[in-house]
Structures are given as C-alpha cells and as structure tokens.
Amino acid sequence: QVQLVESGGGLVQPGGSLRLSCAASGFTLDYYNVAWFRQAPGKEREGVSIISSDGKTYYTSSVKGRFTASRDNAKNTVYLHMNSLKPEDTAVYYCARQIGTMLTWNPNLYNYWGQGTQVTVPS
C-alpha cells in the first residue's frame, strides 16, 4: 500500500528554520519525482519544490535560496529544509508522488499525497 506521511511542521518565528520529513512506504522514492506543495487558507495549492527521480531539485521562485529539498534513499524519506521563514510561508505542506516522469508543477498529475503538516510563521 502506497503511503506518504509528513512530519516536522510547527510554529516558528520569522527568520527561523524547520525541517519537514516525508516518509514513504509501499514504493521506492528514488523511482519517482516527489514534490512538496503548500496550501494557505483561501489560496490554491502551490508547488514549492520537486526532487526528481535522478536527484535534481527544483524550486518555486519565492523559496529559492531559502528552502532545500533532499532525499535519503536508505530511509525512503524526502526532506524540505526551510530557512529564513516568513509569514507568507504559513500553510499546510504536503508531499506528493508524481504520475509519469515528465516534471510538472500541476497537482492534478500527482496521485499519492500525504496528510499534510501545518507550518505557521506569525507576522
């Protein structure tokens, strides 16, 4: 059974850091592109980062230089290291596994999702 479980969210002051984890089971992470998305209240789900099956990373412009995605194949886990957090980073963060191999930010092309983890950065 394919499952993704996020953890690591919380309340952090502006300028602080968090590390989100996404533990996968039922499949091998490095065979797939895996993305982090986030959704703030009243806003559409937004792609934050993608780590491709060959280990390359991609980021949306608003988090470049602040967020880093990584993968531990032995633990079958991907991470999102978030630094210099801002109030506008407040959202529920989800990891998701992509259908197919062509990189995409379209959430409709991701077929397995975790339950999400809340990140709150107060203003």
**What does the pLDDT average to over 18-27?**
97
Strand partners, 57: 51
Q: What is the pLDDT of residues 75-109, one digit of tens each?
A: 999 999 999 999 999 999 999 999 988 999 999 99
Cα–Cα distances in angstroms (integers) from residue 77 to residues 2, 4, 120, in the given order: 13, 9, 23
| Residue 23 banded pLDDT, cuts 50, 70, 90 | very high
Per-residue pLDDT at 30 exceeds 90: no
Strand partners, 68: 81
